């Protein structure tokens, strides 16, 4: 049976009840998050004038903040939804790494699957902001793939954690920072298959084609375009839609995911299964900052799919959650009570 491409707005009372129940039941889940851990640092202040030394703004700094970022922010989203979370990744033998691990533990998450490596530094992204607007971002990182020895150490730590506890899902968050080398990806997927644990993936370009036979594959538009080499002229919506349809069909055929959730920014999301291809529009929002929206989408999608919610309802609510976090500056996790209220307000169109 061929999948049908439609725009889907239907939302029944039963859809709402099932989704609310799944969100409220998130505290029954244990999820392993594996990926690129980083520190999101912020230098906040006010710009009043331009520098006399160069045509650049002068920030009068007033506040510094540091938050768990990357895969660690995905973990924070899962924790905010109520799930029990174990975090896996690599950090450096440095103060940034120690602070990050401590921050996760203070949030009540297990850090047993985190490995500290002496030959890498902890990734730190520093955003310089004024009035909620980004002025500059500074990245400090080592992003080469893990070497064989480090990858083996990481896999052994993951295997130990998987042997010690049962998990309802494994969420892989790839930021192309090297923790998810081909060896790590292949080994982790093999361990998940052996234990029959569903895997959800938020991919990046470098190893886009490595994630096979997963429960959920969640690229954004750029990742799908680059990962599959799709071509269309900017502004040609018809050509883009045709290319996306061909790309999603190819992805389903060659990668064999149960579900593909394609995020399309202001265009909403598109969810593809072997039997459905449904596009859902974005929910109107006052967008302040899109940073971290994808982290929220994959976290909410994982919680819902781990409980068997249908793909279209999952996409609807993950899309809604991603828009909600865009209303706040900086990278912030979803608020469960706000999400539940918004789900209950979705218009019923049975």
- List residues with catalytic annotation: 295
* Residue 14 DSSP code: H
The Cβ of residue 182 has, within 10 Å, a number of other Cβ atoms equal to 13
174: tokens are: 């790839």
> How many angstroms separate the CA atoms of 24 and 21, rounded?
5
**Percent helix, strand and coil across the chain, each rounded to 5?**
40, 30, 30
Q: In 3D, which of 14, 9, 32 has the Cα closest to residue 84?
A: 32
* Residue 146 DSSP code: P
CA dihedral 56, 59, 60, 64 (to 10 degrees): -160
CB 221 within 8 A of CB 264: yes
CB 85 within 8 A of CB 107: no
Count of alpha carbons within 13 angstroms of residue 217, beta-carbon side? 27
> How many angstroms separate the CA atoms of 109 and 123, rounded?
20
How many DSSP H helices and E strands does the chain contain?
A: 10, 14
> How many angstroms separate the CA atoms of 165 and 306, rounded?
16
How many residues in total does the chain contain?
Answer: 350
């Amino acid at each position: 049976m061929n999948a049908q491409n439609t725009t889907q707005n239907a939302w029944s009372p039963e859809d709402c009840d099932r989704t609310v129940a799944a969100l409220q039941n998130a505290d029954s889940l244990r999820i392993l998050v594996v990926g690129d851990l980083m520190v999101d640092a912020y230098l906040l202040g006010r710009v009043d004038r331009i520098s006399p030394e160069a045509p650049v703004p002068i920030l009068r700094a007033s506040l510094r903040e540091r938050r768990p970022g990357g895969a660690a922010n995905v973990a924070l989203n899962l924790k905010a939804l109520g799930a029990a979370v174990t975090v896996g990744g690599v950090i450096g033998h440095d103060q940034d790494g120690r602070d990050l691990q401590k921050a996760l533990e203070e949030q009540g998450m297990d850090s047993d699957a985190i490995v500290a490596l002496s030959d890498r530094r902890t990734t730190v992204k520093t955003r310089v902001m004024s009035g909620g607007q980004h002025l500059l971002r500074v990245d400090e990182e080592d992003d080469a793939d893990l070497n064989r020895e480090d990858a083996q150490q990481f896999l052994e730590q993951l295997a130990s954690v998987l042997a010690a506890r049962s998990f309802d899902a494994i969420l892989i968050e790839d930021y192309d920072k090297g923790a998810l080398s081909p060896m790590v990806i292949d080994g982790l997927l093999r361990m998940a298959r052996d234990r029959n644990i569903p895997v959800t993936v938020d991919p990046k370009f470098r190893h886009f084609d490595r994630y096979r036979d997963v429960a959920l594959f969640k690229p954004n538009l750029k990742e799908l375009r680059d990962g599959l080499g799709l071509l269309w002229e900017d502004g040609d919506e018809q050509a883009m839609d045709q290319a996306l349809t061909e790309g999603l069909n190819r992805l389903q055929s060659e990668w064999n995911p149960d579900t593909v959730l394609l995020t399309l920014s202001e265009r909403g999301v598109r969810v593809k299964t072997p039997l459905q291809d449904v596009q859902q529009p974005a929910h109107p929002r006052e967008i302040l900052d899109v940073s971290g929206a994808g982290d929220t989408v994959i976290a909410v999608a994982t919680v819902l799919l781990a409980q068997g919610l249908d793909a279209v309802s999952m996409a609807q609510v993950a899309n809604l959650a991603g828009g909600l976090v865009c209303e706040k500056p900086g990278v912030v996790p979803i608020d469960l009570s706000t999400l539940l209220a918004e789900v209950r307000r979705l218009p019923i169109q049975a």
